Chain A
Amino acid sequence: QVQLVQSGSELKKPGASVKVSCKASGYTFTSYAMNWVRQAPGQGLEWMGWINTNTGNPTYAQGFTGRFVFSLDTSVSTAYLQISSLKAEDTAVYYCARDRVIAARPGAGDYWGQGTLVTVSS
Chain B
Amino acid sequence: DIQLTQSPSFLSASVGDRVTITCRASQGISSYLAWYQQKPGKAPKLLIYAASTLQSGVPSRFSGSGSGTEFTLTISSLQPEDFATYYCQQLNSYSLTFGGGTKVEIK
Chain A contacts to B: CB under 8 angstroms:
35, 37, 44-47, 50, 59, 61-62, 95, 97, 100, 105-110, 112-115
Contact = CB atoms under 8 A, between A and B. Distances in A.
Contact of A110 (B1, B55, B97): B55
Contact of A45 (B46, B94, B98): B98
Given A47-B89, A47-B96, A62-B95, A108 B34 contact: yes
The size class of the interface chain B forms with chain A is: 20 to 34
B87 interface: yes
Contacts of A50: 96
A97 B91 CA distance: 14
Interface in B36-60: 36, 38, 43-46, 49, 55
26 contacts: A44-B87, A44-B99, A44-B100, A45-B36, A45-B38, A45-B87, A45-B101, A46-B98, A47-B89, A47-B96, A59-B95, A61-B96, A62-B1, A62-B95, A95-B43, A97-B43, A97-B44, A105-B94, A106-B91, A106-B96, A107-B49, A108-B49, A112-B45, A113-B43, A114-B43, A115-B43
